[in-house]
Amino acid sequence: MFVDTVNPQNTSKRCNECGNVRDDNRCQDEFECQRCGKNNHADYNAAKNVAELYLPRGHQPFRGRSISQYAFNSGLKTPS
């Protein structure tokens, strides 16, 4: 099994849409960006931010398969 980490700093306070980081973006389980108004579950927003941090580092997962997208219930996203 392959396990890796990223620095989680601000992943729960950063908007995955516009990148705005503010303490008041998150209120318990709810995330609402104070700049663009994006609403989501706070953990879901943070998970998208973690994926954005991880994938651009050029990681090769187990068995050499490459990752170019990550999937969530709302669809696929290709990191910039």
Number of domains, the chain? 1
**Does the residue 70 lie in any domain?**
yes
69 lies in some domain? yes
Q: Report if residue 3 sits inside a domain.
A: no
Residue 8 lies in a domain: no
Residues 47-72 pLDDT 10s: 999 988 887 655 545 544 455 556 66
The range of the structural domain enclosing residue 67 comes to 23-77
Q: Is 6 left (phi over 0), alpha (psi -120 to 50) or beta?
A: beta
In a domain, 16, yes or no: no
Per-residue confidence band for 1, with pLDDT thresholds at 50, 70 and 90: confident
Task: Give yes or no for residue 80 having a pLDDT over 60.
Answer: no
What pLDDT digit, counting tens, does each position of 3-44 carry?
788 899 999 999 999 999 999 999 999 999 999 999 999 999
User: In terms of pLDDT, which residue wins out, 2 or 70?
Assistant: 2
**Residue 4 domain-assigned?**
no
